[in-house]
Structure 1
Amino acid sequence: MSAPRTAPPENHVRPADRPAVILTEAVAWILAAALLVALPFIVILAGDPPRGAPFTRNLAYALGFGALALAGLQFALTGRLKPLLRPFGADIVPVFHRFLSWAALAFMLAHFGMLYVWHQDDLGSLSPLKAQPHMTAGRVALAAFLVLIVSSEFRKRLGLDYLWWRRLHIALALLGFGAAIWHVLGAGHFTARDGTRGLWLAVTLAWLGLILYTRLVRPWWQSRNPWRVIENRDEGDGIRLLRLRPEGRPLRDWRPGQFAWLAIGNSPYSLREHPFTIATAPDKGHEISVAIKELGDDSRRLSRAEIGSTAWIDGPYGVFTIDREAEAKGFVMIAGGVGITPIIANLHALQERRDPRPVHLLYANVDWQGVAFRAELDRIARDIDLRVTHVLETMPDTPPKGQSIAKGRIDADLIQRLLPDDSRDWPHMMCGPAPMLDALRKALRQRGVPAHRIHSEIFEMV
């Protein structure tokens, strides 16, 4: 039902959430990334530009420098830099990271392949016992990045534990990057002059500073701001809800629907952390809740955290929030299974603000017993104009009273049947398994929903 609004949506929109600001920041970061990739070539041309060498030789070296620049860029993409993540979203940046990593590897292989085919004298001996150390370092870098990308792309097929994969990933990245820097400076092609070498060292130190911030400074800050587990309750469908209280500084600039990296019972330096959506809204106070479902890796241990356990929080991150939609006339929200968590957080914010805008929620599950947060959704629907349709693959023997239930899966026909025509221009916020989201994007586009009105949250980070 509708309730009087106690605070207009605009009051909760910060300047950083306005579309013009987001677009400006996104363009600025794209230009900065392009400059970073071009920087090695600027350094070369400024200090010792290539002249008179065969085109294939210069191209091979250019590909090598480009590969190094792309490799350095990965530390920024994976460093959880909030100014970088703000305009794009924390689930889009890893996609950039993945494709640019493949591009860096392709550049490295092309660099080595062109020299091997046309300029073997530049390569020298391939034996590490005879080759110069900096040449061997280049081959070590190539091997490290190759293993890094293959182990990441096929982690689940290879049966790699998440924690050990993270350790391997970081070790290979640091080894490969360090070896690549040694190779470039040792080879001396276009970097031999003092001024050019100094610029290269400055760039290297900047990348190193970013690594130190990510791996040392930020965990140190977390260690000064611990959290405490104060509740662990069952929400159904194998989901446990942990409630945490800050014992230091609470989250800053927190918006409904965002997520945080959580570690329990370990040092923040341990790498044993995982991303979870914050199930509560900042309007409810400084305490946060996270919903954990046992899906493998470390989730079983985290879901069984004891009351009083120490926790470490790094966040908030993400842009899956109603605070970016102040002008929306209503919302369509679609969730599958545990993907209801960021939806719940946004609904809590609407509830606390007594926001009168209509919300249509389609919530997919296997059966009625597996529906999490049922009571919570009923409570929220008493305060705001929330219409929930439970989409179940298996119908209950006795339909529950007062509930709207549809059989099957969320597809184009069901969307067309359940959603009002004027909702096409509303924000469509979706969270669930990747195959479900892919199918829904196509169905919504066929229905005439503009692409910029379709927002999704991907909770499988690797």
Structure 2
Amino acid sequence: MFDIASIFVLGGYLFSKFIQPLTYEQGILLSNRTIAQNVQELVVKLPRSSRIELLAGDYIFLAFPDYPGLKEMHPFSIANVPSKNREIELAIRGDGDFTKALTQVTAESRVNIDGGYGRYQKFLDDQPQNSNIVILAGGIGVTPLLSTIEANEKRNIQIFYTAHHQADLLYLDRFKNWQQRPNFQAYIQVGRFQDTQVLNELPKDWQHNTVFLIGGPSSMMHHWVKCLKRNGAGNGQIYFEEFSW
């Protein structure tokens, strides 16, 4: 005999299994290529009728309904500012069964999409528009921040980007192009930055005129939050997103 709790559990299961998928939009995979060891770049085309609204730094949930093991939705950050032709770029590291299996997905495959989510760009939009932007990025955590740099070309931006190995540094061609901007500086290295390396390069009076975006491993993000606060940053100056699934 079902009790009330069982009815709610069954209702939730039926909704997630049969109703919620009907709300997903369906795109097409345009390309799937390896851009670094264990990192795939996927380019997805949204339909013209798409109602998805994406901002720089957002993430989406996606799944491939025609591939066993890839039918459940998983979250991934977008690496570009979605253009008028409705193309989304994703850089995905193969950490689990789902992401490792992405290498088998071929162009023209159907993609279920839900999104966008995230607050990187919304955080920036809520700040004074003359604030400096400093980005601290590690490894694959740079992905959403790439689109943030692209979308805010009129803002003063510094990025400190690190990875464990040279081959793990992504999209260095983009950084080379952005370096042509008079208001952009990139500090890129293999191995973590020392606190003083970053603090010595920050804008003058940064405690009052600068906001910080952080992306990377959890331990790295929390380290920089503590470091910045210890040196005078306020809570409202720092933003990061941490996936917990």
Shorter-chain TM-score bucket reads 0.7 to 0.9
After superposition, where does 1:39-54 map in structure 2 within 5 Å? none
Structure-1 residue corresponding to 2:214 = 430
CA contact (8 A) 2:64 2:71 kept: no
Q: State the AA in 2 paired with 1:436.
A: M
Whether 2:175 is the aligned partner of 1:377: answer yes
Q: 1:418: which partner in 2?
A: 201
Distance 2:86 2:37 in 1: 27
- Equivalent position to 1:241, from 31, 38, 41: 41
- 1:218 to 2:20 alignment: yes
Q: How does 1:108-123 map to 2 (within 5 A)?
A: none
Pick aligned residue for 2:134 from 309, 314, 332: 332
8 Å contact from structure 2 (residues 134, 159) kept in 1 = yes
Q: Is the contact between residue 255 and residue 282 of structure 1 (CA under 8 Å) also seen in structure 2?
A: yes
Q: CA deviation at 1:279?
A: 1.1
Measured in 2, the distance between the counterparts of 1:391 and 1:284 equals 34
Tell me the distance in 2 between the aligned counterparts of 1:285 and 1:387.
29
2:88 aligned partner, one-letter code = I
- Summarize the Cα distance change of 1:326–1:309 in structure 2 as closer, same or farther, 3 Å threshold: farther
Alignment of 1:259-278 (within 5 A): 259-266=59-66, 272-278=72-78
- Give 1:361 shift: 0.1
Whether the 8 Å contact between 1:283 and 1:349 is mirrored in structure 2 is: no
Match of 2:173, as an amino acid? A
* 1:450 paired to 2:214: no
Query: Whole-Å Cα distance in 2 between the matches of residues 237 and 323 of structure 1?
Result: 35
Larger proportion of helix: 1
Give the 3 Å change call, closer, same or farther, for CA 452–411 of structure 1 in structure 2: farther
Q: Which residue of 1 aligns with 2:117?
A: 317
Q: State the alpha-carbon separation in 1 of the partners of residues 104 and 231 from structure 2.
A: 43
Q: Which of the numbers 87, 91, 94 marks the counterpart of 1:287?
A: 87
2:151 maps to 349
Provide Cα deviations, 1:115-150, integer angstroms capped at 9, x if missing partner.
Answer: xxxxxxxxxxxxxxxxxx78xx7xxxxxxxxxxxxx
SS at match of 2:173: helix
Identity %: 23
Give 1 or 2 for the bigger CA radius of gyration.
1
SS in 2 for 1:419: coil
Is residue 2:58 matched to residue 1:258? Answer: yes
Three-state SS of the structure 2 residue aligned to 1:436 is helix
Which structure 2 residues correspond to residues 20-419 of structure 1 after superposition, within 5 A?
178-179=5-6, 214-222=16-24, 225-247=25-47, 249-266=49-66, 272-283=72-83, 285-321=85-121, 322-325=124-127, 327-351=129-153, 355=154, 357-383=155-181, 385-393=183-191, 409-419=192-202
Greater relative contact order, per chain length (Cα 8 Å cut-off, separation 6+): 2
What letter matches 1:338 in structure 2? Answer: I
Matched AA of 2:169? V
2: distance between equivalents of 1:208 and 1:298?
26
Asked whether the equivalents of residues 48 and 86 of structure 2 are also in contact (C-alpha less than 8 Å), the reply is no
Query: Structure 2: which amino acid aligns with 1:227?
Result: G
Structure richer in strand, relative to its length: 2
Q: Secondary structure of the equivalent of 1:441?
A: helix
Are the aligned partners of 1:240 and 1:291 in contact in 2 as well (CA < 8 Å)?
yes
The 8 Å contact of residues 231 and 244 in structure 1, kept in 2 or not, is answered as yes
Contact map agreement 1:259 1:277 (CA 8 A) in 2: yes
- Contact 2:225/2:238, CA 8 A, preserved across alignment: yes
- CA 1:364–1:276: 2 relative to 1, 3 Å: same
Supply the distance in 1 between the matched residues of 2:206 and 2:16 (Cα, whole angstroms).
Answer: 42
Letter in 1 for 2:131: K
Q: Which amino acid aligns with 1:249?
A: S
Structure 2 counterpart of 1:257, which letter? G
Q: In the aligned structure 2, how far is the partner of 1:265 from the partner of 1:219? A: 10
After the TM superposition, which parts of structure 1 deviate over 6 Å for at least 4 consecutive aligned residues?
207-211
Matched residues, number? 240
Q: Alpha carbon RMSD of aligned pairs, Å?
A: 2.7
Distance 1:285 1:359, change over 3 A: farther
Report if the CA contact (8 A) 1:251-1:316 is conserved.
no
Secondary structure in 2 aligned to 1:445? Answer: helix
| CA-CA distance at 1:302 after TM superposition | 1.6
User: Equivalents in 1 of 2:53, 2:128: separation in Å?
Assistant: 17
Question: How far apart in 2 are the matches of 1:434 and 1:310?
Answer: 32
Report the CA distance shift for 1:326/1:421 in structure 2 as closer, same or farther (over 3 A).
Answer: closer
Asked if the contact 2:195/2:227 (under 8 Å) is kept, the reply is yes
Distance 1:411 1:444, change over 3 A: farther
